[in-house]
Amino acid sequence: MLRGLTTITYLADDVAAARDWYAEVLGTDAYFAREAGGALAYAEFRIGDYQHELGIMDRRFAPPQPDGAAGAVAYWAVDDVRGAVARLLELGATAYQEPIERGPGFVTAAVVDPFGNVLGVMENSHYRDVLASLTS
């Protein structure tokens, strides 16, 4: 049923500022943008080994959250969790969850971006194994 990640959407009150911050984090510009009411309302990046999509959407277009809904943290694969967290903090994110060893080959951490979104990063041996099988 679930075939893979398509788009993760983060929210921001100032989409242009969020787009610029993520362009700095990712080292690439958004490939798609849409305005509403004369202001940037959505920007999207394609990133990583599988060209996953990261969207930044104006918070006013967010769907309502159901009462008692659990939160979700999307973890992006990185080669070095501690290095990724250090860079994100340097760029203005705030600490949320320090690196945690989850088992052999798995380390997670999370920060909060300057726009209030939880951004998870993960060293994941399964990810590396799948990537290696596709390139060999």
User: Which tens digits make up the pLDDT trace of 16-60?
Assistant: 999 999 999 999 999 999 999 999 999 999 999 999 999 999 999
Q: Tell me phi and psi for residue 46, to 5 degrees.
A: -110, 125
Q: How confident is the model at residue 65 (pLDDT cuts 50, 70, 90)?
A: confident
Q: What is the pLDDT of residue 37?
A: 92
Judged by DSSP in three states, 78 sits in: coil
CA-to-CA distance for 105 and 23, rounded, in angstroms?
Answer: 29
Query: What single-letter DSSP state applies at residue 68?
Result: T
Query: Would you say residue 136 has pLDDT above 90?
Result: no
Which amino acid is present at 49? D
Q: What is the pLDDT of residue 72?
A: 81
Q: What is the pLDDT of residue 2?
A: 66
Q: How confident is the model at residue 1 (pLDDT cuts 50, 70, 90)?
A: confident
Q: What is the pLDDT of residue 48?
A: 92
Name the region of 73 (left: φ>0; alpha: ψ -120 to 50; beta: rest). beta
